């Protein structure tokens, strides 16, 4: 009989898939019923920035306007909190003052999600987790920052 060595991460993924379980999602429920955000990741980039990728979902019966859900423009409505250093990180802007983030437009249909992203100044390398605050949603605590 031969034995095959399977990396633990592969075995864990197979077990979770077979049992129907998923890794815990980092989510924040919206102030509007049926809306929520799902944090995909925060990754350190070259050049001293991090990129936040997240989704906004809508489970309401009618389409919802993204701008209305947020209550304004994305750069004014999302930030990161480094609790350990008591620091708030706002979105990065280019030389013309435009946010390095998703251009908000359109609606989210019932049962659908829209992908959003924004760049921020990178917290110090010693900071491994931050809170994500998106206007109109519960804060999402302890979001890990990963390297590319």
Residue 17: predicted pLDDT: 43
Taking only the tens place, the pLDDT of each residue in 38-47 is 999 999 998 8
Least confident of 58-72, 80-94, 118-132: 58-72
Strand (E) positions, the chain?
26-29, 35-44, 49-58, 64-65, 78-82, 87-89, 107-108, 112-121, 129-134, 140-147
Model pTM? 0.81
CB 142 within 8 A of CB 39: no
- Domains within the chain, CATH numbers bracketed: 25-147 (2.60.40)
Residue 23 pLDDT > 80, yes or no? no
């Amino acid at each position: 009989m031969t034995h095959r060595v399977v990396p633990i991460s592969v075995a864990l993924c197979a077990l979770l898939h077979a049992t129907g379980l998923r890794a815990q999602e980092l989510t924040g429920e919206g102030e509007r019923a049926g809306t929520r955000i799902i944090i995909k990741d925060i990754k350190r980039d070259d050049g001293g920035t991090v990129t936040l990728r997240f989704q906004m979902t809508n489970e309401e019966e009618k389409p919802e306007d993204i701008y209305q859900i947020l209550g304004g423009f994305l750069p004014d409505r999302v930030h990161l909190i480094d609790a350990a250093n008591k620091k708030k990180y706002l979105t990065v802007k280019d030389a013309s003052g435009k946010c390095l983030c998703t251009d908000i437009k359109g609606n989210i249909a019932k049962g659908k999600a829209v992908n959003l992203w924004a760049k921020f100044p990178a917290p110090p390398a010693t900071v491994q987790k931050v809170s994500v605050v998106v206007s109109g949603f519960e804060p999402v605590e302890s979001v890990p920052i990963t390297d590319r």
